[in-house]
Amino acid sequence: MKVELSAESQAQVDRIDAWWRENRQAAPNREGHPGAETASVVDGVQQITVVVDQSFRFNPSTITVHPGPVKITLKHEGSGAPHDLAVTGHAGDAVPLTSAGQTMSTTFTAPAPGSYRFVCTIHVAQGMTGTLVVLPS
């Protein structure tokens, strides 16, 4: 499932990303950002599962991929508010809101090699951010 963000939503994600770059401090009274993983290739598609819960953190919070198709699955194992995952500056590279007990996925083509920020668009103020690292082929 590919989600297209409206221009207004993408602008909001970009504003959040700009704020984050200026205020690189973890939210008060929150745990650090857990783990880093490299996506596994299954049938030619790089796949990774990111777990979320009520801690307002992505696990893993750093994802490493190579150019090509990437499938990110967001699994909400906690309780409370829903979460999503949006790669800032790349409309459509987003997993939609996922409620407690749900699992949602999206498949997209990895952007050019580099580091990209991803966020939960409704919990970035709580520090719910991560990094997508795209390595050269």
In a domain, 43, yes or no: yes
Q: How many domains does the chain have?
A: 1
Question: Which pLDDT tens digit goes with each residue over 69-100?
Answer: 999 999 999 988 999 999 998 878 899 999 99
What is the residue range of 114's domain? 7-134
CB 106 within 8 A of CB 70: no
* CA 77 to chain CA mean position, Å: 16
In a domain, 22, yes or no: yes
In a domain, 2, yes or no: no
pTM: 0.78
- The proportion of the chain whose per-residue pLDDT surpasses 90, expressed as a percent, equals 64
Q: Going by C-beta distance under 8 Å and a sequence separation of 6 or more, which residues neighbour residue 61?
A: 33, 34, 35, 36, 129, 130, 131
Question: Which pLDDT tens digit goes with each residue over 93-122?
Answer: 899 999 999 999 999 999 999 999 999 999
- The proportion of the chain whose per-residue pLDDT surpasses 70, expressed as a percent, equals 87
Q: The domain spanning residue 106 has which CATH number?
A: 2.60.40.420
Q: CB atoms < 10 A from the CB of 2, how many?
A: 12
Compute, in degrees rounded to 10, the torsion defined by CA atoms 38, 43, 45, 50.
Answer: -50
The predicted model gives 46-57 an average pLDDT of: 95
In a domain, 1, yes or no: no
CB 90 within 8 A of CB 102: no
